[in-house]
Structure 1
């Protein structure tokens, strides 16, 4: 997996304050657009599990 460009979340709309992600060195990287120097790196498998849990509402009660 080669490094790709940062992609903005479709839920962010026109806002400059959003979550961005990219594939880099066989990892998935996430960052806040306004905090671009802070990056979270994880494996594609772990990221897929996070997305699945979010879509299933597993974190909804942690508001």
Structure 2
């Protein structure tokens, strides 16, 4: 992935409301919502890996 290429999940299809990701400056992972491209979240790769692991294990699921 180059520093300028935004990518989205293949599960998103042609929809415009998805999260896009790329590798940014200094190797940081950058995330943005496709319909609000000016707001970019930058996170260290190790923290992003921890975030993904928390999603996969359900750690961030909200329980009623």
TM-score, normalising length from structure 2? 0.84
| Structure 2: gaps (5+ residues) | none
TM-score normalised per structure 1? 0.85
Gaps of 5+ in 1: none
Output the aligned Cα RMSD: 1.8
SS of the aligned residue for 1:61 comes to coil
1:3–1:58 CA distance, 2 compared to 1 (3 A): same
Q: After the TM superposition, which parts of structure 1 deviate over 3 Å for at least 4 consecutive aligned residues?
A: none
The structural deviation recorded for 1:35 is 0.3
Task: List per-residue Cα deviations over 1:24-63 (Å, max 9, x = no partner).
Answer: 1210000000000000001000000000000111111268
Give 1 or 2: higher strand fraction. 2
